[in-house]
């Protein structure tokens, strides 16, 4: 029984080592990304997503001094991570947009966890109200099929 567990652990460790070695070998053989590919401009969809960040659901809350310090630290940490992504030349514009959006979402999550239960309830209510308002807003419906019939002219 113990031999089976040890064998499984050794197999997992060996697989991990082989995976890392294969990854390093592939990186050495792959051409330099910057020279082989021209960087692409961000797609309009990615730009729309970046502009579609939610409004500040955290505004108007009465923070304690500890919460203010924690939120300030979270914001500074996130800004340093975003600055590192912006300076990274290995990433395409789409990748940078995705990472920046991900860091923003993580920042919101960390800020939410720093709140008291009452404050968290207030933020949840604001988010739900915003979502229901967005769902009730009329959305443009695109015609299906792409061909519209035109009236016959006499």
Which pLDDT score, from 0 to 100, does residue 95 have? 93
Bigger pLDDT: 12 vs 134: 134
Q: Is the pLDDT of residue 55 over 90?
A: no
Choose among 143, 115, 141: nearest CA to 127.
Answer: 115
Please check whether residue 7 lies inside any domain of the structure.
no
Q: Which of left, alpha, beta for 145 (phi over 0: left; psi -120 to 50: alpha)?
A: left
Alpha helix locations (H) across 30-64?
A: 33-36, 44-51
Please check whether residue 111 lies inside any domain of the structure.
yes
Spatial distance between the Cα atoms of 47 and 82, rounded to a whole number of angstroms: 16
Which pLDDT score, from 0 to 100, does residue 149 have? 54
Choose among 29, 24, 30, 3: nearest CA to 16.
Answer: 24
pTM above 0.75, yes or no: no
Which band of pLDDT confidence, cut at 50, 70 and 90, is reported for residue 39? very low
Q: Is the pLDDT of residue 104 over 60?
A: yes
Q: CB of 130 within 8 A of CB of 55? A: yes
Please check whether residue 44 lies inside any domain of the structure.
no
Bigger pLDDT: 105 vs 35: 105
Which band of pLDDT confidence, cut at 50, 70 and 90, is reported for residue 121? very high
Please check whether residue 106 lies inside any domain of the structure.
yes
Please check whether residue 17 lies inside any domain of the structure.
no
Percent of the chain with pLDDT over 70: 54
Spatial distance between the Cα atoms of 98 and 43, rounded to a whole number of angstroms: 11
DSSP code, position 115: S
Domain of residue 78, residue span: 62-134
How many domains in the chain? Answer: 1
Q: Which of left, alpha, beta for 60 (phi over 0: left; psi -120 to 50: alpha)?
A: left
Q: Is the pLDDT of residue 27 over 60?
A: no
Which pLDDT score, from 0 to 100, does residue 18 have? 47
Which pLDDT score, from 0 to 100, does residue 101 have? 93
Please check whether residue 91 lies inside any domain of the structure.
yes
Please check whether residue 31 lies inside any domain of the structure.
no
Please check whether residue 142 lies inside any domain of the structure.
no
């Amino acid at each position: 029984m113990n031999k089976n567990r040890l064998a499984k652990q050794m197999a997992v460790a060996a697989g991990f080592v082989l995976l890392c070695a294969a990854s390093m070998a592939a990186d050495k053989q792959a051409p330099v990304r910057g020279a082989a590919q021209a960087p692409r401009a961000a797609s309009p969809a990615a730009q729309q997503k970046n502009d579609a960040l939610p409004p500040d659901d955290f505004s108007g809350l009465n923070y304690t001094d500890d919460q203010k310090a924690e939120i300030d630290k979270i914001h500074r940490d996130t800004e340093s991570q975003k600055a590192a992504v912006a300076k990274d030349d290995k990433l395409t514009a789409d990748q940078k947009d995705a990472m920046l959006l991900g860091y923003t979402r993580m920042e919101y999550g960390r800020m939410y966890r720093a709140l008291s239960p009452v404050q968290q309830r207030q933020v949840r209510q604001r988010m739900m109200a915003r979502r229901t308002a967005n769902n009730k807003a009329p959305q443009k419906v695109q015609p299906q099929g792409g061909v519209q019939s035109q009236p016959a002219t006499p």
